[in-house]
Amino acid sequence: MKRLWTATRPLMNIAYPLRGVDGCRVAVQRARSAPRDTANQSRALRDIKGRARDWSLAVVCLGLVAFVEFASTQGNQAANRQTVWPPRLSGPAPGEVQVLPVQGKVHVIVGAGSNITVQAGDDGVLMVDTGLASMSPKVLAALKMISTRPLRYIINTTEFDEYVGGNAAIADTGEIIPFRAPDYTAGPQGALDITRASVISYYTLLHRVAGPAGKAPRIPEEGWPDNTYSIAQKRLYFNDEPVIITHLPSNTDGNSVVLFRKSDVVSAGGLLDLTTYPVIDVAAGGSIQAIVDALNGLIDITVPASHAGGGTLVIPGHGRIADHAEVVYYRDMTTIIRDRVQDMIKKGMTLAQVKAARPSRDYDTRYGRQTGTWTTDMFVEAVYQSLKR
């Protein structure tokens, strides 16, 4: 079409002023209004010739206009016409990852299990979560697309496999800047392994991934957090911005969320999962009340730019990049389901009766699953059990 456009440009320059009524209608009117004089044969013949010429001009004119319109408007856009409805949106193919810019110094890698937040700058690279172990080669390749600076920190928000699985392989590629001479051995700080990235988490997350004594750990020891905290917050200043790690128990008692204060991005981990209901591991200290409280805490640190949207962006554990409004909708959904199940418990309903009543039924098409590792049934049961405690 571009070639056609170029080749016919001179023709179109001539025809373009004729577009519409003011061009062709004049020619047609002239043809229609030519005087008729049937009394004089020679004049009549001239009239016929003249009218034929006028009509020919009118037809040529109309032809040109039709062509110009096709080439300049419809023709140009035919190539862009969407044939699939609703439009299919692209995501990473199975087994592949996709890098998306978020804002400021923050990117997200999707498709590796959980979403992986990456903050990069002159100080190096900081990751939040590492995805599944099987995806580590793809994640490392994606990291190189974002920055070639050394990986310094990994922060684990959530203890589930798709968040911590890549710890060992990915941490091993990093290096931490030593804050003591390399041969300093006095005290625990001197024992830090500087040939790998430092892995930060809330302390209970370390306990869980290490597993109980005598049993196999959930992830290899090389991937265990070596930089834990046990109070409300841990803070870093990295790549010229504050990085505030806040303990917000929700899925378990070990969740953290990470605020990049200048970039204005929060990495929420498993607390916010826009693809399904939140996973609640009651045995590990998770509860629906903790989820609701943590979502309210997350709302407190996300500031919309205008009319409840934009501003602080939130990277969920799974699903698309979000903002204040998405967190509020998710909070609303979890709160409403909590209230319904609580009401059913007050009425003395059993777990089976609660499940049969489908307290999440208006959200199931959007967030529910019938199969997989976290089904609607498991969610309702976890809500029930955590409220019964």
Q: How far apart are CB 232 and other proteins at their closest, in Å?
A: 18
User: Any residues with CB less than 8 A from the CB of 102 and at least 6 apart, and which?
Assistant: 108, 117, 263, 265, 313, 315, 321
Distance CA 247, CA 231 (A): 7
Helix axes 376-388, 324-346, angle to 10 degrees: 60
Q: Which is nearer to other proteins, 74 or 195 (CB)?
A: 74
Question: What does the buried/exposed string (b/e) look like for 88-105 if buried means 16 or more CB atoms within 10 Å of the residue's CB?
Answer: eeeebeeeebebeebebb
CB of 12 to other proteins, least distance (A): 13
Which residue is associated with the tokens 């959007």? 366
Cβ closer to other proteins: 245 or 294?
Answer: 294
Q: Helix, strand or coil for residue 82?
A: coil
CB of 299 to other proteins, least distance (A): 6
Nearer to other proteins, 23 or 220 (CB): 23
CB of 217 to other proteins, least distance (A): 32
Q: Which is nearer to other proteins, 238 or 379 (CB)?
A: 379
Between 111 and 174, whose beta carbon lies closer to other proteins?
Answer: 111
CB 199 → other proteins: shortest distance, Å?
25
Burial of 337 (0-12, 13-18, 19+ CB in 10 A): buried
Please say which residue, 99 or 210, places its beta carbon nearer to other proteins. Answer: 99
Quote the least distance from Cβ 326 to other proteins, whole Å.
Answer: 7
In the bound complex, what is the minimum distance in angstroms from residue 96's beta carbon to other proteins?
12
Whether the bond into 86 is cis, omega within 30 of 0: yes
CB-CB contact of 126 with 155 (8 Å): yes
Which CB sits closer to other proteins, 24 or 288?
24
User: How many angstroms separate the CA atoms of 25 and 28, rounded?
Assistant: 5
Q: Which two tokens stand for residue 183?
A: 């041969």
Contacting residues toward other proteins, per CB under 8 A: 19-21, 24-25, 28, 32, 55, 58-59, 62, 65-66, 69-70, 73-74, 77, 79-82, 85-87, 89-91, 98, 100, 108, 110, 292, 296, 299, 303-304, 306-310, 313, 319-326, 328-329, 331-332, 335-336, 339-340, 343, 357, 359, 361-366
Chain centre to alpha carbon of residue 58: 56
Q: Are strands 227-229 and 198-202 parallel, antiparallel or unpaired?
A: parallel
Q: Please report how close the Cβ of residue 117 comes to other proteins at its closest, in angstroms.
A: 13
Residue number with CB closer to other proteins (89 or 352) = 89
CA distance 263 to 243: 10
Q: Are 297 and 94 in contact (CB under 8 A)?
A: no
